[in-house]
Amino acid sequence: MLLPQDILPLMVLFKESPNEPLHQAKLSTRLHWSASALHRSLLRLNASKLWNKSSNRVDHHATINFLRYGLPHVFPAEMQTLCRGMTTVQIPGIAQPQIPFVWPDESSSTMGIGVQPLDAGFVHLAHTEPALKPWLDLVEVFRLGRVREIVLAVQIMENEYASRNA
């Protein structure tokens, strides 16, 4: 059974090039996880058929379908009151709400409606690897978004997959 924190390595692996081999030691360092925690997470992703252990690859179609249809039900968003934090649920080209959604984070200055991230590692990784932030935002789009935003998030993920496999 998946745990909320399993979505973090799933999104990192989704974004990585499928031709690059998975180095668990490097990934665990990036995530600030122990090697054993990452190994257990990968086993759960493999059992869920979102990641294939033998080929070391994410099943992109299964991942997109899980994020779109399963994530909001399995790991629903927990809304909080207004707080200071890092903005999330952002898709380029979509007008943002007047009061944005934020992951609570004392080091950020944006005020918004707090959304508890699936794992504290989301905020940390968004700070340390800004190129991954849009991919982490997509997770919250699937958890909180309206239909239009979800459709755009699916298109973004499918376009990324298609561009790497063209």
What is the rounded end-to-end Cα distance, in angstroms, of the chain? 33
The alpha carbon of 52 is separated from its chain's Cα centroid by a whole number of angstroms, namely 18
Find residue 82's DSSP bridge partners. Answer: 113
Q: What is the pLDDT of residue 68?
A: 96
Tell me the average pLDDT of the chain.
89
Q: How far apart are CA 129 and CA 122, in angstroms?
A: 10
Task: Tell me what pLDDT residue 166 has.
Answer: 63
Q: What is the pTM of this model?
A: 0.89
The percentage of residues in the chain with a pLDDT greater than 70, rounded to a whole number, is 93
pLDDT (0 to 100) of residue 93: 67
Q: How confident is the model at residue 51 (pLDDT cuts 50, 70, 90)?
A: very high
Section 28-32 average pLDDT: 91
Is residue 19's pLDDT more than 70?
A: no
CA distance 142 to 162: 20
Alpha carbons 159 and 166: distance in angstroms, whole number: 10
